[in-house]
Copies of this chain bind each other. A is one copy, B any other.
Amino acid sequence: MIIVMKAHATDADVEAVIGMVEALDYRAHVIRGVERTVVACVGEERGEAHSLQHLESVSGVERVMPVLRSFKLASREVRPEGSIVEVGGVPIGGKRLTVIAGPCAVESRAQVDAAALAVTQAGAHLLRGGAYKPRTSPYSFQGMEDEGLRLLEDAGRRNHIPVVTEIMDATDIDLVAEHADMLQVGARNAQNFSLLRRLGKVRKPILLKRGMSTRLEEFLMAAEYILSEGNPNVVLCERGIRTFETATRNTLDLNAVPLLKQWTHLPVIVDPSHGTGIWSLVTPMALASIAAGADGLLIEVHPQPAAALSDGPQQLRPARFMQLMAALKPVAHALGREL
């Protein structure tokens, strides 16, 4: 931690800061520069009960700058070779790409079965489908809930494909963990720390989506909540961030992919369906995601997007998803990945 003193800070100010820093078990090194005095604090910066940030309210202090990024267990340094997370026997991470596909929401037995068959035939590895839906409006379709969960599980079993579904409420964890192979945390819950902490005590792998305005360091801190409670099976998902651009639903931040791969050992996948909000952009952005280094994709596929109860504009119909998978294969090979 580096403490920058104000231009007119007095010696007494500097002494007071040194006293406070040492009271917190850091060693203080004072460097007197041309225009500013700086106090460098040496000690265990991460994991402390007390950060030094609050020293910004102390007389004579201009700013406090942390030296280290704050994630620990998620850090690449911990596991330089990278993690592979298994979901119902399917690995995420490593050389082989993983494609998760299915409808935004489970709407009926017929719909989820048709979707499951279609995505399996096209080569997807995991089936997704929402039973509990976080909708901006309380008047919109909120999902089939428990029944949807069972329909998804059945569709997965019949097609021999593990299933992924979103968890919105901590009280549903046991039920969802019983019926699904992987639990997804949506963007709006990306910093719901109560939920994250409880998911750290679950055995099932977690698909953690980035929040709409979550910085990458904060995203890894959200993962850290799960990891620090004992669940090492976290997969990160970039799904677009909120910016000033309104032509697309979100701005897919593919910079996040290679940067996260440098910072963390956790697998990183991309959701170009939410990341664009427009079905005709999904295939090019899926290819771009893989080219940027993603370990897999999350794609919304619906047997009849124009009749979908949610997110119609961004769901692919099965024939288009098949084309996406066909386009993906040569690009994956050109990049030295397998599909």
Given the interface pairs A4-B67, A285-B258, the reply to whether A34 lies near B45 with Cβ below 8 Å is yes
- Known: A58-B306, A139-B47, A293-B284. Contact between A65 and B68, CB under 8 A? no
Q: In the complex, what residues of B have CB within 8 A of residue A136's CB?
A: 70, 191, 218, 221
Q: How many whole Å from A319's CB to the nearest CB in chain B?
A: 13
- Asked whether, in the complex, the Cβ of B262 is within 8 Å of the Cβ of A280, the reply is yes
List the one stretch of A36-44, A88-96, A108-116 in contact with chain B. Answer: A36-44
Given contacts A224-B137, A245-B215, A275-B255, contact A33 B38 (CB under 8 A): no
Does residue A154 face the partner (Cβ distance < 8 Å to B)? no
Q: Which of A138, A247, A311 has the most CB of B within 10 A?
A: A138
Q: Give the Cβ gap from A106 to chain B, nearest Cβ, in Å.
A: 15
Q: Is A175 an interface residue (CB 8 A)?
A: no
Q: Which of A237-270 contact B (CB under 8 A)?
A: 241-248, 251-259, 262
Q: How far is the CB of A132 from chain B (nearest CB, A)?
A: 8
The complex places the Cα of A308 from the Cα of B241 at a distance, in Å, of 32
A11-55 residues at the B interface, CB under 8 angstroms = 20, 29, 31-36, 38, 40, 42-51, 53-55
Cβ-defined contact, B68 with A36, below 8 A: yes
Which size bracket describes the interface of A in this complex?
35 or more
Say which residue of B7, B256, B289, B313 sits within 8 Å of A57 (CB atoms). Answer: B313
A259 touching B255 in the complex, CB below 8 Å, given contacts A221-B136, A331-B291, A331-B335: no
Within the assembled complex, what's the spacing in Å between the Cα atoms of A49 and B189?
24
Residues of A within 8 A of B (CB): 2, 4, 7-8, 20, 29, 31-36, 38, 40, 42-51, 53-58, 65, 67-68, 70, 72, 77, 132, 134-141, 168-171, 188-189, 191-194, 197, 211-213, 215-218, 221, 224-225, 228-229, 241-248, 251-259, 262, 275-276, 278-281, 284-285, 287-293, 305-315, 330-331, 333-335
5 tightest A-B contacts by CB? Answer: A54-B312, A213-B213, A56-B313, A330-B334, A291-B291
25 chain-A/chain-B pairs, Cβ below 8 angstroms: A29-B29, A31-B40, A31-B42, A33-B42, A33-B67, A34-B45, A36-B67, A38-B40, A46-B139, A47-B139, A48-B139, A49-B140, A51-B140, A54-B310, A54-B313, A57-B305, A70-B137, A138-B229, A243-B243, A244-B244, A245-B253, A247-B259, A257-B284, A258-B285, A284-B291
